[in-house]
Amino acid sequence: MKITILQPAQLEIIEAFEYYEYSSKGLGFQFLNEIDHSINMIKNFPDLWTKLNPKSKIRKCVVKKFPYCIYYSSDIHFLTIIAIAHFHRKPMYWKERIS
């Protein structure tokens, strides 16, 4: 399965990493490990997480230990990471990325 992380999602990962690493040395790397683990779980079991609604192709995976979730879409050949969203951001701010 080919994995694509949209550029805005890549920036969200970098910003969160920098924030956590600045807050506590090593915490940024723990965040990256949890993101990596979550993406690998999604890659191996893409249908495990619930769709946002029954007609949507977008699913949401909650990241363990951090207040983030990964919004993604997938089919048999491709996995697209749309957003790495913090729980306290405006809901669905990333929706324009899929239009």
* Predicted model pTM: 0.93
Note the pLDDT of residue 99. Answer: 67
Query: What range defines the domain where residue 13 resides?
Result: 2-98
Measured between alpha carbons, how far is residue 60 from residues 23, 52, 68 in Å? Answer: 27, 7, 10
Number of domains, the chain = 1
Which domain CATH number covers 24?
Answer: 3.30.2310.20
Stretch 83-95: mean pLDDT: 90
CB contact at 8 A, 71 and 83: yes
pLDDT per residue over 7-61, tens digit each? 999 999 999 999 999 999 999 999 999 999 999 999 999 999 999 999 999 999 9
Tokens encoding 22: 């600045």
